[in-house]
Amino acid sequence: MNRILRISETHPLTWRLRDDQKTVWIKEYCDKNGYLSLKKALKEMLPEDVINIVKESGLKGRGGAGFSTGLKWSLMSQNHSYTRERGYLICNADEMEPGTYKDRLLIEKIPHQLIEGIILSAYALNVSRAYIFLRGEYVQAEHILKKSIQEAINFGFIGLNILGSNFNIELVLHTGAGRYICGEETALINSLEGRRANPRSKPPFPAVFGLWGKPTCVNNVETLSNVPCIILNGVSWYKNLSKSSDTGTKLMGFSGNVRNPGVWELPFGTTAREILEDYAHGMKSGFSLKAWQPGGAGTDFLLEEHLDLPMDFKNISQAGSRLGTALSMAVDDKTSMVSLVYNIEKFFSRESCGLCTPCRDGLPWIVKILKSLEQNKGHKNDVKNLEKLCSHLSPGKTFCAHAPGAIEPLQSAIKYFRSEFESGINIRTRDLNKKIIGIQSNCI
């Protein structure tokens, strides 16, 4: 019991995990301090108090953007265009970032922690209906959430006059149609409305005009799962969990040709080398590290020299990448960067909603060039053209962040491994270019 108590103080998201990896259902969750935060909030706190505590805690969005959760909530609460009771809360569980599986862990193993976080957040926002937008391929997660929601209803945590208060909440589970673009909150809202999953023009932002035209807040699974522990244990405790200016803990991990791929709850500020060597147990025998992505397929590659960086939003950004989801991928020395990036860009090209020209036409063009380079059929200016396309698809030049995220692995791969891309240029093409230049020189 003392060991469990210590783990609960340092691993607020994962200390309830069972050794046999089975789901923690509501009775066990309640035995492990479950729903105490909800009881505390409804009996002792006003919605504004919950918002202020979350804001003071420094909790940032865990979906990748890293925006202040409390600030995001306050933007919705300060909106006076509509009464707040007519708004909505949406939990973004559409986890489609390649190499990312942290939200799935929380949903399938500790579903009531997420549900409690959603109810608390809905109370803070003073909304009476919340949605979980779940990735359609997460079939097991869907069954678990359906059962868990019904358990919460049976125990009186969802419904009318929760715990004798005047607060009402309805929680609806919605499975998506399987598009990566639904990770963008306005595309998610359109999909939830039954529309094509295209991003919306902003402003107006969802806090003003969201789901069905009402004020709406969209938060990630891991973000919402942090709320119960903050309410129960307080701001100072939460801040002291971290080794960094970013507060709390984060689900981090490594995949690829490592000995022990997985995900672990660690303090912000833990170095990537610690995660790779102490938790993932290093590279598999016969492989060495060539590069790594800090947080999903849509983040810039970094090198072994960057492994000693603290894993937090600021330090990874200063190194030229993004923390993203903090689920890192190790690239081994036997992997071709051209082939790897080609595979990544095929995914992003397929998942483009096609709304804006740079993304719709630029990503397929990138895929075509990379395919030629992979087959050693590239042309003289292919690498330069890839760099130009990266510039044309950079932030501020497309309708949403899909294309800018898609070109991050490409631009960094060219930056660090340019020779691999240049080696894909067809030898005959090189010789022909030399002959043309020689003929032109003779003519002059």
Residue matched to tokens 């909030």: 41
What is the structure's pLDDT at 428? Answer: 55
Give the domain-ending residue among 332, 365, 386: 332
Contacts of 61 (CB under 8 A, 6+ apart): 67, 68, 69, 72, 219, 220, 223
Q: Let me know whether 146 and 272 are in one domain.
A: no
Please report whether residue 415 resides in a domain.
yes
Of 179, 199, 189, nearest in space to 351 by CA:
179
Domain residues for the domain of 303 are 249-332
Does residue 142 contact residue 175 with C-beta atoms inside 8 Å? Answer: yes
Can you name the residues that pair with 327 across neighbouring β-strands? Answer: 253
Q: Let me know whether 223 and 261 are in one domain.
A: no
Count of structural domains within the chain? 3
Q: Let me know whether 100 and 175 are in one domain.
A: yes
Q: Let me know whether 214 and 299 are in one domain.
A: no
Please report whether residue 300 resides in a domain.
yes
Q: Let me know whether 202 and 70 are in one domain.
A: yes
pLDDT in tens, the chain (444 residues): 444 545 677 999 999 999 999 999 999 999 999 999 999 999 999 999 999 999 999 999 998 888 999 999 999 866 544 444 469 999 999 999 988 999 999 999 999 999 999 999 999 999 999 999 999 999 999 999 999 999 999 999 999 999 999 999 999 999 998 789 988 999 999 999 999 999 999 899 999 999 999 999 999 999 999 999 999 999 999 999 999 999 999 999 999 999 999 999 999 999 999 999 999 999 999 999 999 999 999 999 999 999 999 999 999 999 999 999 999 999 999 999 999 999 999 999 999 999 999 999 999 999 999 999 999 999 999 999 999 999 999 999 999 999 999 999 999 999 999 999 999 887 655 554 544 444 444 445
Please report whether residue 18 resides in a domain.
yes
Q: Let me know whether 278 and 160 are in one domain.
A: no
What is the structure's pLDDT at 65? Answer: 81
Would you give the end-to-end CA distance of the chain in angstroms?
87
* CATH code for the domain in which residue 310 is found: 3.10.20.600
Please report whether residue 440 resides in a domain.
no
pTM above 0.75, yes or no: yes
Please report whether residue 24 resides in a domain.
yes
Give the domain-ending residue among 332, 356, 391: 332
- Helix or strand run (H / E) with residue 289: strand 289-293
Q: What is the secondary structure of 209-276 as a DSSP string?
A: S-GGGS-EEEEEHHHHHHHHHHHHH-HHHHHTT-SSSS-SEEEEEEEESBSS-EEEEEETT-BHHHII
Q: Let me know whether 161 and 272 are in one domain.
A: no
Q: Let me know whether 353 and 311 are in one domain.
A: no
Q: Let me know whether 296 and 365 are in one domain.
A: no
Q: Let me know whether 187 and 232 are in one domain.
A: yes
Does residue 229 contact residue 101 with C-beta atoms inside 8 Å? Answer: no
Q: Let me know whether 225 and 161 are in one domain.
A: yes
* CATH code for the domain in which residue 203 is found: 3.40.50.11540
Q: Alpha-carbon distance 49 to 41, whole Å? A: 9
Please report whether residue 104 resides in a domain.
yes
Q: Let me know whether 97 and 134 are in one domain.
A: yes
What is the structure's pLDDT at 80? Answer: 46
What is the structure's pLDDT at 63? Answer: 87
Please report whether residue 76 resides in a domain.
yes
Please report whether residue 413 resides in a domain.
yes
* CATH code for the domain in which residue 353 is found: 1.20.1440.230
Tokens coding 108: 């399938």
Give the domain-ending residue among 239, 266, 297: 239
Can you name the residues that pair with 130 across neighbouring β-strands? Answer: 89, 171
